[in-house]
Structure 1
Amino acid sequence: MAAALLLLQLLLVVTAVAAGEDAEVLCADTACYTLHRAELGWSAAQERCQHDGGNLAPAGSRAEAERLEKLLAASTATSAWIGLRLERGHCVQSQEPLRGFTWAASGEPGNYSAWLAEPHITCLSTRCVALRPASSHGPPGWVDRPCRATLPAFLCKFSFRGMCGPLRLGGPGWVSYETPFRVSSPALAAAPFGTLAEVGCEGAASPAFSVCKGQLDGDGFSWHPPGPFCPNTCTHNNGGCQHLCVEAPGQPSHCTCHPGYVLGPDMASCLPEDACHNNPCQGACRPRPGGYECICEAGYALAPDGQHCVDVDECLEGPCKHGCHNTAGSFFCSCQPGYQPAGPGGRDCRDEDECAQPEACPQLCLNIPGSFRCTCRTGYQQQPGSDACLDVDECLRDPCPGTCRNLPGNFECICPPGFLPQDDGHGCLAAPTTGEQLAGTMGTTTILQNASTMWTMGTRSPAAVPGGLTPPAPTVAGSEHSPEHGADGPRLLLYYILGSLVAILLLLAFALALLACRKRAARKEKPKAKSAADNYCWVPEQPESRSRAGSERR
């Protein structure tokens, strides 16, 4: 089906070329624009224009766009192809005036655009642009279409070195113009270089012909032969003259001009003596006393010869914040990756917050000027060469006094019996013990309280308390996750050693005092030395009188 459609389009092209089709033509400055009615796709329409020496018409300025709109409005076509196209593999650029599309004629972008709607966002398919006429729904403008779609018309542009004015007739007759791009027209306000004019005069046996050529003594263009054609008396149509028709006995009539004017190359029209009638300027020509002045369009400057126009490189003035690209008669700005156009005409650039996009990073996103950086949360580390975050196994650093359990982004200490976990789960504290129990075991409340205080201060290897008691396990402190406790470790160890020495000295002093008391008591109870008299008993002495009386009695 596609092959049959392509063959039909080629046949239409050949038939139109062979017949010299009639089409709407509009010529101005150094170019002619044509409107052709044919159901063709964009590529077939471009081949048709190229076959005759042109391209699908661009609209690089407002003046050029108005000429295309005028041609389309004179027809009944609902839309027509123009020479704007987005190639496959090129993406639509929403910040550019042409949205990334390029003109078939030059391939250079410009600042002028007339989009009726934003083009379809794509990088994978070719898109072409059609011109729509003004209607009750809105002004004329551009819309994008698939390039394979067919439209009822297309617009071509043909560029030339110069133009000739219309042929003048000195008597009744008709003129038909055959342009170099194979389009015939019965009337042209300006005929491009190389146009053949066929003139038929009333009562003439055969037509006359004239060609638009360049003048030998300048850059202007004129008809050869110049005319006027169909000569007659000055009574008919003023002899074809613009100003005065002069008749002399025995001579054909001829044209002359009023003072301040000169006869044009067609020998019928009158032009001011400022020489602008041949348009020697590449741009506009302005009459001046005794001469003329050439004026160039915006974006161009007058060349040293005073006639031609050269492009102005606006980028030399630095109008853009980042990149500037000069084009024919204009320029456009671009931004570096990571920035978006901003300000009037897109000349400024603002940073694009990539972190605002969903799923920019697996965990944390840090926006930086022109770019962004992915980071990981605490407890994770970034995988080399990737933005992925891997969990850190904190248990490999042995942060717990007992068992350590790794968690996603964290860890947890499992405390042994007799210990309680810290609030952050990264250490263990000894379970509180009453002072009376320790005092009953050791017999000294003060020593127990000192020892208990030292154990709860975080010493890892407490010594045994005299008296056979083993102190409770020390409180874990100074892990990597508790830098404040880790810095107090040496000081707590010193307090513990000093406290232990004081307790030992007190016990030693107590023992020495007890020994001294016992010795003193022993000295008081020491027995006196024994004598021989200790083995005898003493009898109480009797009164002597009684002794004697008894003797006597005996």
Structure 2
Amino acid sequence: MAIARPLVLLLLLLVRGSGGKDAEVICAGTACYTLHRAELGWNSAQERCRDNGGNLAPARSAAEAERLQELMAAGGWLGPAWIGLSLPRGRCVQPQEPLQGFIWAAGGEAGSYSAWLSEPTSTCLSSRCVSLQLAGPSGPAGWTDRSCRNVLPAFLCKFSFQGMCGPLPLAGPARVSYTTPFWVRTPHMAAAPFGTLVEADCEGGEGPAFAVCKGPLEGGGFAWDPPGPLCPATCAQCQHRCLEEPGEPPRCVCHPGYLLAPDMASCMPKDPCDPNPCQGTCRTRPGGFECGCEAGYTLAPDGRRCLDVDECLAGPCHHECHNTAGSFVCLCRPGYRLTEPGGHHCHDEDECAQPGVCPQLCLNVPGSFHCACRPGYQRQPGGGNACLDVDECLREPCPGRCLNLPGSFKCLCPPSYLLEEDGRGCRAAPTAGEEPTGAPNSTLRTTGIPQTMGLPRTTGIPRTTGILQTTGAPRTTSILQTLGIPVGATPPAPTAVGLVPGPEHSTDGPRLLLYYILGSLVAILLLLAFALALLACRKRAAKREKQPAKSAADNYCWVPEQPESHRAGGERSVWEKQ
């Protein structure tokens, strides 16, 4: 008692010096939960909780989530309020996990309980934090993720302790104020954590009385010091009996089977569950009590402790099962994912839906995928996914030259040849004025080079098909008639000179074309020379025919005949030489 008094006074000075803050608080088991009204971001709220020795409140089970909702309802706050669940920056959302990859600020196992109102935002680059919303007109109770920088008007904290003290015993009416170790002041507490200071202002006119929750005691547990009752009552206030002992203040006692009420004056039936002898829940039964455990636990053989149930032994999961405290978590093999958060069944994940999985083609298979290449490409040797171009020209698919292209190839034909519709064969190109027959049997059957066709020996000029059209010389009727070619006649077609050229003769085409051009030029020059010579001869002959014939009288003049009567006198003759 001598040591307790100074401790009580020291705690009183600390509390009054720091100033407790009003907040809603609820304590049960070994933890207290508080609801604070302050507009803060998630990180600032976590710092406030940590400064007082706690963390933002988790909700690892349905019972703990119900306790938080009860606290918010008692404070008249529907939400939202920050809780201790967040996704740090650099950590990705995991849809197959109940918490979606989020972690509790207080640490520990994630557990299988979750209460998402909607799927959280899928991200790996920004931090996301969770708030709790009570059921109301806007929807049911549950979790919502949002940016950690958002400011919310409330947050929930959790403080853990080794034990609790029961209700403070009072012998008479008084105004009581509890100040907790986490600096929250409240007038009502069904259970107070270790280190809580109580100030009772008795109505009897006496000064305030103080007590502090101490422990652990020798037999275990925690108790108030001094044990009370505070504000002692007179015997007239006792419901059953009043016990007066020499040197002791009077106190009330109850008949067997009854317990003294917290007011230390009235009596109530004895409750074997107070204090709770069970690790879990306790129910009063006639003549005793009965212990119970939460879901995921089973009662131990001693009837008081609770043991974890290994739910994985029953095989509830489609693929893999991981047992946790009071519950279990289903996991999927690589390439699969849960059909829903916290579900038991797995379905195949389509890896091909993600961009950039394969360089060209992607084939999804159960639990995995395969990369493939488009036609004209092949996989890189050594097991890589890269696709390399196939050189189809190495298989010699063309009768002539072959050009390799990315994923394909192209056959090249010699000059004056056209590519067939199938892209592999070549056919001779039709000459000017000739309609293409389109017969498939004519492919590469002729060289396309006309032979020189001899003209009559009288002309001595070779007749070459297409000379007049090629040179562009005037096509006069006189020249054609001179050569003995009827006007409008078509020169005969060239005759075949060889078979289809093979790949080894693909270089003869340009050489034959050169010979054809040179021969045509020589024939044209000879024809022009002959035509010019012929025109010159004909002009010379025509000039000779037009020149008049000369006679002896060309040097004389003709004088008209004079009458004979004028000839007398020896006149000159009629013809005078000029």
State the TM-score, normalizing by the size of structure 2. Answer: 0.63
1:400–1:44 CA distance, 2 compared to 1 (3 A) = closer
CA contact (8 A) 1:39 1:152 kept: yes
Structure 2 distance, partners of 1:366, 1:234, is 90
Deviates most, 245-254 or 219-228: 245-254
Matched, 1:254 2:255: no
Once the two structures are superposed, residues 480-516 of structure 1 have per-residue CA deviations (whole angstroms, 9 ceiling, x without a partner) of xxxxxxxxxxxxxxxxxxxxxxxxxxxxxxxxxxxxx
Partner of 2:224: 223
Contact 1:430 1:472 in 2 (8 A): no
Residue of structure 2 aligned with 1:325, choices 322, 346, 359: 322
CA 1:39–1:407: 2 relative to 1, 3 Å: closer
CA–CA distance in structure 2, aligned partners of residues 100 and 433 of structure 1:
71
Number of the residue aligned with 2:281: 284
Verify the 8 A CA contact 1:379 1:391 in the aligned structure 2: yes
> Partner of 2:116 in structure 1?
115
Q: Which residue of 2 aligns with 1:393?
A: 391
Contact kept? 1:30, 1:161, Cα under 8 Å: yes
Deviation, 1:33, is 0.9
Using the TM superposition, give the Cα deviation of residue 287 of structure 1 relative to its aligned residue in structure 2, in angstroms.
4.1
1:12-31 counterparts in 2 under 5 A? 18-31=18-31
CA–CA distance in structure 1, aligned partners of residues 269 and 223 of structure 2:
16
Paired with 2:110 and 2:266, the residues of 1 have a C-alpha distance of 41
Q: Distance in 2 between matches of 1:134 and 1:369?
A: 41
Aligned to 1:40: 40
**In the alignment, is residue 195 of structure 1 matched against residue 192 of structure 2?**
no
Q: Are the equivalent residues in 2 in contact too, given 1:430–1:473 (CA < 8 A)?
A: no
Structure 2: distance between partners of 1:66 and 1:49 = 20
Which residue identity does 2:346 align to in structure 1?
C
Distance in 1, Cα, partners of 2:63 & 2:23: 21
In the alignment, what sits opposite 1:503?
none
User: Cα deviations across residues 273-308 of structure 1 (Å, max 9, x unaligned)?
Assistant: 674211122211234566544322112344566544
Amino acid at match of 1:390: L
**Would the aligned equivalents of 2:399 and 2:424 in 1 still touch at CA under 8 Å?**
no
Query: How far did residue 315 of structure 1 move?
Result: 3.7
Alignment partners' CA distance in 2, 1:34 and 1:432 = 95
Q: Residue 150 of structure 2: SS of its match in structure 1?
A: coil
Q: Post-superposition shift, 1:339?
A: 1.3
Structure 1 distance, partners of 2:233, 2:424, is 118
Per the alignment, residue 164 of structure 1 pairs with 165
Give the Cα–Cα distance (whole angstroms) in 1 for the partners of residues 158 and 422 of structure 2. Answer: 79
**Distance change (3 Å), C-alpha of 1:33 and 1:423:** same
Q: Distance in 2 between matches of 1:120 and 1:17?
A: 45
In the superposition, relative to structure 1, how do residues 181 and 304 fare at CA in structure 2: closer, same or farther (>3 Å)?
farther
Distance 1:297 1:218, change over 3 A: farther
Counterpart AA for 2:36: H
- Aligned counterpart, 1:9: none
Distance apart, 1:168 and its partner CA: 3.6
Counterpart amino acid of residue 333 in structure 1: C
**Per the alignment, do residues 76 and 293 of structure 1 end up closer, same or farther by CA in structure 2, a change over 3 Å counting?**
closer
Residue ranges of structure 1 left out of the alignment (5+ in a row): 1-13, 435-468, 477-554
Q: 1:21 to 1:414 in 2, by over 3 A?
A: closer
The CA deviation at 1:90 is 0.7
| Per-residue deviation, residues 362-402 of structure 1 (Å, max 9, x unmatched) | 44322223221121233222234654433322112323343
Counterpart selection for 1:352 from 344, 349, 354: 349
1:178 — aligned with what? 179
Secondary structure of the corresponding residue to residue 110 of structure 1: coil
Q: How much has 1:36 moved relative to structure 2?
A: 1.8
Alpha-carbon distance, 1:156 to partner: 0.9
User: What amino acid is aligned across from residue 141 of structure 1 in structure 2?
Assistant: G
User: Hey, what does 2:571 align to over in structure 1?
Assistant: none
In structure 1, C-alpha distance between the alignment counterparts of 2:294 and 2:15, rounded to whole Å? 40
2:444·2:501 contact (CA, 8 Å) conserved in 1? Answer: no
Does the aligned pair in 1 maintain the 2:15–2:183 contact within 8 Å? no
CA distance in 1, matches of 2:150, 2:16: 21
Tell me how far apart the structure 2 counterparts of residues 143 and 157 of structure 1 sit (CA, whole Å). Answer: 19
1:207-244 C-alpha deviation (Å, 9 max, x unpaired)? 222233347464443333333322233444xx4x6xx3
Contact 1:54/1:157 (8 A) holds in 2: yes
SS of residue in 2 equivalent to 1:115: coil
Q: In 2 relative to 1, CA 359–314 (structure 1 residues): closer, same or farther, beyond 3 Å?
A: same
Q: What is the rounded CA distance, in whole Å, between the counterparts of 2:15 and 2:133 in structure 1?
A: 27
Give secondary structure in 2 for the equivalent of 1:390: strand
**1:132 equivalent in structure 2:** 133
**Cα distance in 1 between the residues matched to 2:213 and 2:308:** 29
| 1:173/1:361 CA distance change after superposition, 3 Å | closer
Q: Is the 8 A contact 1:226 1:267 kept in 2?
A: no
Q: Which amino acid aligns with 1:180?
A: P
Matching residue's letter, 2:316: P
Structure 2 residue identity aligned to 1:233: T
Which whole-Å deviations, capped at 9, do the CAs of 1:9-58 have from their partners, x for residues lacking one? Answer: xxxxx999922212111122322111122233222222222222221111
Q: Distance in 2 between matches of 1:87 and 1:268?
A: 55
1:295 aligns with 2:296: no
Verify the 8 A CA contact 2:173 2:263 in the aligned structure 1.
Answer: no
Partner of 2:370: 373
User: 5+ residue gaps in structure 2?
Assistant: 1-13, 427-439, 446-495, 504-578
Task: With a CA cutoff of 8 Å and minimum separation of 6, indicate the structure with the bigger relative contact order.
Answer: 2
8 Å CA contact retained: 1:77, 1:152: no
CA contact (8 A) 2:193 2:213 kept: yes
Quick one: structure 1 residues 79 and 366, their matched pair in 2 at CA, closer, same or farther if it must change by over 3 Å?
closer
Task: Tell me the distance in 2 between the aligned counterparts of 1:134 and 1:343.
Answer: 22
Q: Distance in 2 between matches of 1:138 and 1:331?
A: 28
Would you say the 8 A contact 1:119–1:143 is kept in 2? Answer: yes
Q: In the alignment, residue 370 of structure 2 is paired with which amino acid?
A: R
Would the aligned equivalents of 2:280 and 2:306 in 1 still touch at CA under 8 Å?
A: yes
* CA-to-aligned-CA distance 1:160-206 (integer Å, 9 cap, x gap): 23333322432232222122222111221222233222222234443
Larger relative helix fraction: 1
Matches of 1:406 and 1:312, distance apart in 2 = 69
Name the residue aligned to 1:98.
99
CA-based RMSD of the aligned residues comes to: 3.9
Q: Provide the rounded CA distance (Å) in 2 between the counterparts of 1:343 and 1:369.
A: 18
Contact kept? 1:365, 1:375, Cα under 8 Å? yes
Q: CA deviation at 1:264?
A: 8.1
Contact 2:233–2:251, Cα closer than 8 Å, also in 1: no
Matched letter for residue 93 of structure 2:
V
Q: Which residue of 1 aligns with 2:519?
A: none
User: 1:246: how far off?
Assistant: 3.0
Q: Distance in 1 between matches of 2:330 and 2:311?
A: 11
**Contact 1:180–1:194 (8 Å) recurs in 2:** yes
* Aligned ranges 1:479-494 → 2 under 5 Å: none
User: In 2, distance between residues paired with 1:193 and 1:305?
Assistant: 28
Q: 2:22 aligns to what SS in structure 1? A: coil
Q: What is the total number of aligned residue pairs between the two structures?
A: 424
Task: Measure how far apart 1:407 and its partner are.
Answer: 4.6
Shift of 1:425: 4.3
